[in-house]
Amino acid sequence: MDRELLIQLAMKARKIAYTPYSGFQVGAALLTDDGQIFTGCNIESASYTPSNCAERTAFFKAVSEGIREFQAIAIVGGPADREELEICAPCGVCRQVMMEFCDPETFQIILAKNPKDYQVYTLKELLPLGFGPKDLER
């Protein structure tokens, strides 16, 4: 897996985030099991609640194209006017969406400041004891 490329694509997606209310821009790049990459940015709304995070934009783009198997996601975020970023961890709602489609033991979440400076976590590390589709099997 080319983590640097994934981070670069997340950084590019961050640049087109629609964030007139928070000014906080997030970009994500989601790698599928078959090697495709879906990017996403956060999209806000004047009525606030309908806003969508970058991570979920990427997942929903992929799932709406019929893809449901994923290896990794790179995430970058920070204030719009800032080029030097701090780590941006996914919100709880996005972690839950990851839990729906990803194996918590193997899915990698790459939190990056830039293509050379990043941390990698499994979904299980960021969502311990997560509730997912397996819990509804009987």
Site residues (vs ligand THU, CB under 6 A) = 19, 22, 24, 26, 42, 44, 51, 53-55, 77, 88, 90-91, 94
Across the strands, what pairs with 73? Answer: 30, 109
Least spacing, CB of residue 94 vs ligand THU, in Å: 6
Distance CA 42, CA 80 (A): 12
Nearest CB to ligand THU, comparing residues 34 and 85: 85
Burial class (CB in 10 A: 0-12, 13-18, 19+), 31: buried
Least spacing, CB of residue 41 vs ligand THU, in Å: 8
55 annotated active-site: yes
Nearest CB to ligand THU, comparing residues 82 and 137: 82
Distance CA 84, CA 77 (A): 10
Q: How far is CA 125 from CA 57, 89, 97, in A?
A: 22, 12, 15
Residue 77, H or E segment: strand 70-79
Both tokens of residue 83? 């080029």
Nearest CB to ligand THU, comparing residues 39 and 42: 42
Least spacing, CB of residue 113 vs ligand THU, in Å: 14
Least spacing, CB of residue 79 vs ligand THU, in Å: 10
Given the residues 4, 55, 100, 137, the one annotated as active site: 55
Nearest CB to ligand THU, comparing residues 78 and 104: 78
Helix (H, G, I), strand (E, B), or coil: what is residue 11?
helix
List active site positions.
55
